[in-house]
């Protein structure tokens, strides 16, 4: 069989199908590439002999754009990095700015940041589980997961008026005080969410076909996870107990009692299941944060609109839904960052795809890709 079908002119010098090999071009526009991932797959029958991800289809030059904007104007740009977890990028960027400019954040703002980010973790994991289920063909689980996510999005909409790009966490605090009765609604959501998770666990993870499809597929050893810089649920699914909330505590996280779920086999099933259990832990954190939160200011008073940190650089990272999300900023003393660099967990996790997919079937490729949970706004930046 020829490998010409589906191959791309600009890549023909690189794609050389072997004997009896079929080259399939998956993406960048494909139902289960989670955005605009393009994977050049070499197939021997149905078995993947080589999977080569091609990225860059969503490159907008956000890091470069940041150099031409003031520190406050960069926050909306960070929304567009990981567009299913905007709060994280907001927060990671703001923490770096605060470190660079030496800003102290009021305690209530830290609590609000924790609450919105844990809700964001639930929303992001629901997206991940839903699309992982859709990749295996379970359309109903997809809807159930998105139903849960919708409730978080509605709460965010009530909080800051936006459903996806929140621009909520700002250098020095957060943008809005919570509306009347919001905490009660969030607590009610946490109670309902646990039932929803229970339902999804039985419907999807308890299903024998799901187990067959996801267990022993895309096995990532703990050594490889560490060596390839995997983080978040991808690393924890392999049993690497590494969570920045515990192991490099930031904000008010040391005050909460929560566990870090880890898997043991490092397969797609464990990675997905870790995400499910993390949602329970996020509910616990939200409940504790709401009960501990005291009234007070939500922004550092007297902060200038045009921040001009002293020349220097700073790096800070937080645990996003996808792993360790870090932002590195260099200041030359002007009102604009001299350089911004984002350490994107989705990028590092996606790099594992060729390693994990080799030797599995084409149907497993999409399951593995789904279990790595890449978001291409963050991969391509």
Partner 1 sequence: MSGLAWGALYGLAAGLVIAIAALIGVWGERKVAGRIQMRIGPQELGPFGLLQTLADTLKLVLKEDITPAAADVRIFRIAPLIVFAPIAMSFVIIPYASGFAPLDTSVGILFFMAVPAISVIGVLLAGWSSRNTYATIGGLRAAAQMISYELPRTLSILPFVLLAGSMRPLDIMDEWRWWWIPLTFIAFIVYFISSIAEVNRGPFDLPEAESELVAGYFADYSGIRWAIFMMAEYGGMVAAALFGAVFWFGGYLHLPGALGVIMLIAVATLLAVAMIWVKWTFPRMRPDQLMGTAWKVLTPMALLQLVIVGVVIPWL
* Options 55, 87, 138, 145; binder of partner 1; rule CB under 8 A: 138
Among 119, 127, 366, 368, binds partner 1 (CB under 8 A): 366
Nearer to partner 1, 138 or 372 (CB): 138
8 contacts partner 1 (rule: CB under 8 A)? no
Q: Closer to partner 1 by CB, 2 or 291: give it.
A: 2
CB-nearer residue toward partner 1: 204 or 258: 204
* 3 vs 106 by CB, closer to partner 1: 3
Please state the separation of Cα 361 from the chain's center in Å.
26
Burial 148-157 (b: 16+ CB within 10 A, else e): bbebbbebbe
Which of the residues 36 through 55 are near partner 1 (CB under 8 A)?
43, 46
Give whichever of 21 and 313 is closer to partner 1, judged by the CB atom.
Answer: 21
Contact mark string toward partner 1, 20..39, x via CB under 8 A? --xxxxx---xxx-------
Cα–Cα distance between 100 and 82 in angstroms, integer? 23
Binding of partner 1 by 278 (CB under 8 A) = no
283 makes contact with partner 1 (CB under 8 A): no
Residue for token pair 């996808």: 322
CA gap 90, 17 in Å, rounded? 43
φ, ψ for residue 330 (rounded to 5)?
A: -115, 130
Q: Which of 153, 203, 226, 252 binds partner 1 (CB under 8 A)?
A: 203
- Binding status of residue 199 toward partner 1 by CB under 8 A: no
Q: With binding defined as CB under 8 A, does residue 137 bind partner 1?
A: yes
The residue assigned the tokens 């050893």 is 221
Among 15, 153, 303, 361, binds partner 1 (CB under 8 A): 361
Q: Any idea which residue has 């799901």 for tokens? A: 210
Could you give the CA distance from residue 101 to residue 341 in angstroms, rounded to a whole number? 17
Could you tell me the smallest distance in angstroms from the CB atom of residue 43 to partner 1?
Answer: 8
- The verdict on 143 binding partner 1 (CB under 8 A) reads yes
Which residue blocks in 27-70 are alpha helix, DSSP H? 62-66
> What is the nearest approach in angstroms of partner 1 to the Cβ of residue 148?
11
Judged by CB under 8 A, the chain residues 57 through 96 that form the site for partner 1 are none
Q: SS3 of 38, please?
A: strand
DSSP secondary structure letters along 47-102: EEEEEEEE--TT---HHHHHTTS-HHHHHHHHHTTSTTSHHHHHHHHHHHHHHHHT
Q: For residues 32 and 368, give the distance between their C-alpha atoms in angstroms, rounded to a whole number.
A: 11
Q: Indicate whether 362 belongs to the interface with partner 1 (CB under 8 A).
A: yes
CB atoms within 10 A of CB 254: 9
Residues 104-133 that bind partner 1 (CB under 8 A): 133
The token pair at 346 is: 């989705």
Query: Least distance to partner 1 from the beta carbon of 67, Å?
Result: 39
Q: Which of 14, 18, 139, 150 binds partner 1 (CB under 8 A)?
A: 139
Q: What is the crossing angle of helices 182-200 and 268-292, to 10°?
A: 160
- Nearer Cβ to partner 1 (22/92): 22
Q: How far apart are CA 344 and CA 326, in angstroms?
A: 7
Distance CA 239, CA 138 (A): 27
Residues that bind partner 1 (CB under 8 A): 5-6, 22-26, 30-32, 43, 46, 133-141, 143-144, 147, 203-204, 207, 209-210, 212-213, 361-366
């Amino acid at each position: 069989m020829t490998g010409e079908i589906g191959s791309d002119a600009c890549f023909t010098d690189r794609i050389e199908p072997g004997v009896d090999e079929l080259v399939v071009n998956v993406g960048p526009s494909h139902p289960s590439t989670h955005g605009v991932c393009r994977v050049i797959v070499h197939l021997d029958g149905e078995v993947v002999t080589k999977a080569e991800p091609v990225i860059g289809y969503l490159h907008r030059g956000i890091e470069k754009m940041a150099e031409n904007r003031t520190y406050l104007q960069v926050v909306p740009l960070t929304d567009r990095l990981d567009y299913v977890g905007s709060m994280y990028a907001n927060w990671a960027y703001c923490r770096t700015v605060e470190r660079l400019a030496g800003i102290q954040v009021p305690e209530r703002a830290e609590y609000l940041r924790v609450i919105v980010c844990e809700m964001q973790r639930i929303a992001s994991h629901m997206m991940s589980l839903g699309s992982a289920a859709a990749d295996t063909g379970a359309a109903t689980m997809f809807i159930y997961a998105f139903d849960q996510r919708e409730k978080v999005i509605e709460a965010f909409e009530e909080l800051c008026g936006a459903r996806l790009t929140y621009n909520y966490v700002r250098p020095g605090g957060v943008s809005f005080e919570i509306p009347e009765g919001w905490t009660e609604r969030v607590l009610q959501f946490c109670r309902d969410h646990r039932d929803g998770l229970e339902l999804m666990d039985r419907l999807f993870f308890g299903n024998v076909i799901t187990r067959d499809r996801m267990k022993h597929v895309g096995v990532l050893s703990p050594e490889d996870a560490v060596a390839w810089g995997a983080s978040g649920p991808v690393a924890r699914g392999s049993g690497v107990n590494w969570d920045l909330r515990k192991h490099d505590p930031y904000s008010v996280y040391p005050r909460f009692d929560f566990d870090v779920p880890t898997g043991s086999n490092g397969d797609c099933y464990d990675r997905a299941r870790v995400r499910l259990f993390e949602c329970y832990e996020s509910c616990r954190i939200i409940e504790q944060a709401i009960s501990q939160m005291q009234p007070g200011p939500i922004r550092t008073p007297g902060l200038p609109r045009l921040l001009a940190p002293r020349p220097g650089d700073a790096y800070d990272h937080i645990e996003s839904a996808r792993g360790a999300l870090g932002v590195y900023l260099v200041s030359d003393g002007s009102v604009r960052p001299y350089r911004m660099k984002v350490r994107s967990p989705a990028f590092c996790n996606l790099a594992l795809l060729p390693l994990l997919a080799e030797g599995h079937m084409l149907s497993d490729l999409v399951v593995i890709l789904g279990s790595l949970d890449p978001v291409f706004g963050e991969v391509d930046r």
